[in-house]
């Protein structure tokens, strides 16, 4: 089990950031390599991704579900995906806190990986996951006009 923690600041109020984080159309534009993201039920989604980053490179399909939603303060994301390089599954607890300059988004994730992804080692996997998260939040800030 890999544990990842991250924190990002977005220059928008928590209600706007929360709304963007649960909007499939916004997410599809912000998730690196996301080719398709569609709702399959309330707070449940299917996705297709094509990741071009070392360690995770390949095509993936999977599902994600939002649980324990407390707008605009927190939610839990559970995800399960597989592709040619292996599989990834886990949960992320996402918290939003108002700050004078906008919103601080923190995430604590527990991720299990298998296949070639696991073979690349946790340091490379950790670095790759951090890069993808940073790319996501940078694009999200752009998307909501921060």
Cα-based angle 76, 108, 97 (whole degrees, multiple of 5): 75
The whole-number pLDDT of residue 115 equals: 85
| 44, 68 contact by CB (below 8 A) | no
**pLDDT at residue 55, as a whole number:** 63
Tokens of 16: 């706007």
- Terminal-residue alpha carbon distance, the chain: 34
What are the pLDDT digits (tens) for 108-121?
999 888 887 777 66
The distance from CA 52 to its chain's CA centroid, rounded to whole angstroms, is 16
pLDDT of residue 77: 96
pTM: 0.90
Q: How does residue 51 score in pLDDT terms, banded at 50, 70 and 90?
A: confident
* pLDDT band for position 146 (cuts 50, 70, 90): low
Give tens-digit pLDDT for 66-93.
999 999 999 999 999 999 888 989 999 9
CA 78/CA 99 separation, integer angstroms: 27
């Amino acid at each position: 089990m890999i544990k990842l923690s991250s924190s990002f600041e977005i220059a928008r109020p928590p209600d706007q950031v929360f709304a963007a984080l649960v909007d499939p159309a916004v997410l599809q534009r912000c998730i690196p390599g996301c080719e398709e993201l569609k709702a399959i039920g309330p707070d449940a989604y299917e996705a297709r991704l094509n990741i071009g980053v070392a360690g995770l490179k390949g095509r993936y399909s999977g599902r994600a579900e939002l649980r324990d939603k407390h707008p605009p303060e927190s939610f839990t994301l559970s995800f399960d995906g597989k592709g040619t390089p292996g599989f990834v599954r886990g949960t992320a607890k996402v918290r939003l806190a108002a700050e004078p300059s906008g919103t601080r988004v923190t995430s604590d994730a527990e991720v299990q990986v298998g296949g070639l992804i696991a073979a690349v080692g946790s340091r490379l996997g950790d670095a790759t996951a951090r890069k993808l998260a940073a790319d996501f939040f940078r694009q999200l800030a752009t998307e909501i006009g921060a």
